[in-house]
């Protein structure tokens, strides 16, 4: 290999891995490390972010044994062994995992051709140090709250973060040891471990744009080994559920062979199909929402009609109704969504707006989009927002108190239950409906449980109960539900720019 080619290979992680790094495969063989589809996708996402921002901040959500830790370990070793002044620290959820990852990195180093990279000056059970580069590599286990707190780190890899017992402490400690500078990397990867924990909250912050982290999801069916040949001598037909999965994910690589493998795996999990499917989706998720299992056994709105509505295109000339669920706290969002009959679109979420900023945002929407109705939750801060908009002449604004008695008081405990019921019926009707293709909205729509009171009236899970089990308020779904205050299909109506100048508002009171 010429010097020029060698330099090119060393500078490219995929080429460096293929030519010089060795891994132990699932079958136990030692082979060159050739990146699989998931690892190539992950590499490209991280490199794109590095090129755009100068640093890497990433969350990786994946299924079991997809090689993400193997890739990140190779990435960290490559940086430490080829770059001056880089200290890497790897934190795992348990001691055995710590040992396995460090053994992997030692194998990378031990199998290198002599003289290719500097030899480590110190090598222990938890550290590799390259003094000539002023670089090093160390590992720790998350059971110790203070682990790594005193380190100076440029590269951090958190493994199985969803299972860290002291995640909040580590976020305050070791993660703060990574400076917010170019050339630094923080990569947190995990399979999901329910909702409400540190990794889940980080993921939600990333997908809603509240953090600098990018959210990277790796579906299980990208693994070549997660497929089984179909016996051509036996009839093979897809269930309705499998047909939906294939229709939704075939373009992304899902095959019938993957579904055959899934059938076998479901039988290993449980004889009860529903229980097996829940367990499978956590370990081998189709989507991020599959991974974060909802602990409520009876969700009021199931995922199937929501998924269908995300993928359908609908046109509508019905009058525009806008739903607004306002909030001014850090943990809730002001959610605004539009609906025209069977078409819902253009979801907005805003954080940390005060009441006058929310009023201003709604005014601009009304003036620009001319809705027939704007339905605003008027409990709490919403009352002041509704009053102000009505005061300055926006007659299309309707305050909605979802805690009041339902229109059908024999069937529903309160108006909120009635509106959520109407929204569920709308999603489930034969005529197709369209909603924004949003993980955030889907998560909110499918998050709530339900029950019936002693009089047999429907009661939807409250926001307080939702927070007790670690979930955020379903603001985007509540905003959509508010649009049903005027019915499924608003007849007639229209926009009339009948408002007085703001400076004149209140002069007649």
Q: What is the CATH number for 447? A: 3.30.420.240
Of 94 and 460, the structure prediction assigns the larger pLDDT to 460
Percent of the chain at pLDDT > 90 equals 46
pLDDT at position 381 over 80:
yes
**In-domain check, residue 316:** yes
Same-domain status, 311 and 214: no
Residue ending a domain, choose from 218, 241, 267: 218
Pairing of strands 155-159, 185-190: parallel
Residue 191 and residue 76 share a domain: yes
Separation CA 248–CA 300 (nearest Å): 23
Query: pLDDT of 24-61, one tens digit each?
Result: 877 778 899 999 999 999 999 999 999 999 999 999 99
Whether residues 206 and 350 share a domain: the answer is no
The string of DSSP codes covering 268-302 is HH-SSHHHHHHHHHHHS-SSHHHHS----SSBSS-
Q: How many domains does the chain have?
A: 2
Q: What is the dihedral of CA 135, 59, 158, 52, to 10 degrees?
A: 10
**Among 162, 192, 218, residue at a domain's last position:** 218
Tell me whether residue 50 is in a domain: yes
Give a yes or no: residue 238 inside a domain: no
Same domain, 213 and 313: no
| Chain segment 9-18, per-residue pLDDT in tens | 889 999 999 9
* CATH code for the domain of 147: 3.40.50.300
Give a yes or no: residue 270 inside a domain: no
CA–CA separation, 181 vs 296, rounded Å?
42
Domain presence at residue 261? no
Angstrom distance (rounded) from CA 501 to CA 232? 75
For residue 146, being part of any structural domain is answered with yes
Would you place residue 128 in the very low, low, confident or very high pLDDT band (cuts 50, 70, 90)? confident
Q: 181 lies in a domain?
A: yes
Quickly list DSSP for 101-135. Answer: HHHHHHHHHHTSPTTSSPPPSEE-SSEEEETTTTE
Residues 295-303, mean pLDDT to the nearest whole number: 71
Same domain, 330 and 209: no
**Residues 205 and 313 reside in one and the same domain:** no
What was the pLDDT predicted at 492? 53
Q: At which of 157, 190, 218 does a domain end?
A: 218
- Among 263-267, 410-414, 497-501, where is mean pLDDT lowest? 497-501
- Model pLDDT for residues 385-433, shown as the tens digit of each residue: 999 999 999 999 999 999 999 999 999 999 999 999 999 999 998 899 9
Give yes or no: residues 65 and 182 share one domain: yes
Residues 313 and 415 reside in one and the same domain: yes
Asked if residue 377 is part of any domain, the answer here is yes
The phi-psi region of residue 392 (left if phi > 0; otherwise alpha if psi is between -120 and 50; otherwise beta) is alpha
Structural domain containing residue 95: 3-218
Q: What is the pLDDT of residue 144?
A: 65
Candidates 386, 383, 396, 387; CA nearest to 498 is 396
Report the pLDDT value the prediction gives residue 495, as an integer from 0 to 100.
Answer: 40
The reported pLDDT for the residue numbered 148 is 54
Same domain, 312 and 454: yes
Residues listed for the chain: 509
Residues 181 and 51 in one domain: yes
Q: Has this prediction a pTM greater than 0.75?
A: no
Above pLDDT 70, what percent of the chain? 90
Give the model's pLDDT for residue 493: 46
């Amino acid at each position: 290999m010429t010097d020029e080619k060698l330099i090119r290979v060393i500078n490219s992680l995929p080429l460096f891995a293929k030519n010089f790094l060795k891994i132990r495969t699932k079958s136990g063989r030692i082979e060159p490390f050739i990146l699989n589809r998931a690892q190539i996708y992950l590499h490209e996402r991280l490199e794109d972010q590095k090129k755009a921002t100068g640093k890497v901040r990433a969350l990786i959500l994946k299924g079991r044994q997809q090689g993400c830790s193997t890739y990140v370990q190779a990435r960290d070793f490559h940086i430490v062994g080829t770059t001056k002044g880089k200290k890497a620290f790897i934190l795992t959820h348990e001691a055995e995992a710590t040992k396995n990852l460090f053994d992997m990195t030692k194998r990378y180093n031990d199998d290198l051709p002599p003289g290719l990279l500097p030899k480590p000056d110190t090598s222990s059970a938890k550290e590799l140090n390259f003094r000539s580069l002023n670089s090093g590599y160390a590992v720790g286990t998350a059971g110790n709250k203070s682990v790594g707190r005193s380190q100076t780190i440029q590269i951090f890899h958190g493994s199985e973060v969803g299972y860290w017992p002291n995640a909040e402490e580590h976020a305050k400690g070791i993660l703060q040891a990574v400076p917010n500078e170019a050339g630094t990397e923080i990569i947190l990867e995990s399979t999901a471990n329910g909702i409400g924990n540190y990794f889940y909250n980080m993921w939600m912050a990333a997908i809603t744009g509240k953090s600098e982290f990018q959210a990277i999801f790796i579906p299980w069916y990208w693994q070549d080994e997660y497929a089984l040949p179909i016996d051509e001598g036996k009839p093979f037909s897809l269930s309705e559920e499998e047909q939906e999965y294939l229709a939704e994910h075939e373009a992304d690589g899902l095959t019938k062979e993957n579904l055959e493998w899934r059938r076998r795996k479901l039988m290993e999990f449980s004889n009860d199909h529903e229980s097996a499917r829940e367990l499978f989706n956590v370990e081998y998720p189709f989507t991020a929402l599959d991974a974060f299992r909802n602990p409520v056994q009876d969700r009021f709105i199931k995922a199937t009609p929501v998924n269908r509505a995300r993928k359908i295109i609908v046109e509508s000339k019905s009058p525009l109704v806008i739903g607004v669920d306002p909030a001014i706290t850090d943990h809730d969002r002001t959610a605004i969504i539009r609906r025209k009959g069977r078409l819902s679109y253009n979801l907005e979420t805003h954080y940390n707006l005060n009441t006058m900023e929310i009023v201003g945002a709604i005014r601009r929407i009304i003036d620009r989009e001319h809705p027939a109705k704007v339905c605003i939750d008027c409990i709490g801060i919403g009352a002041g927002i509704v009053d102000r908009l009505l005061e300055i002449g926006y007659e299309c604004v309707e305050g909605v108190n979802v805690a009041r008695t339902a229109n059908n008081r024999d069937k529903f405990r309160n108006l909120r239950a009635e509106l959520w019921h109407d929204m569920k019926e709308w999603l489930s009707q034969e005529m197709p409906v369209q909603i924004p293709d949003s993980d955030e909205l889907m998560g909110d729509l499918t998050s709530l449980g339900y029950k019936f009171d002693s009089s047999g009236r429907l009661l939807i899970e409250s926001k307080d109960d939702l927070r007790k089990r670690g979930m955020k308020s379903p603001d985007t779904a509540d905003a959509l539900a508010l649009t049903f205050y005027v019915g499924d299909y608003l007849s007639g109506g229209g926009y009339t720019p009948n408002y007085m100048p703001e400076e004149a508002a209140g002069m007649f009171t």
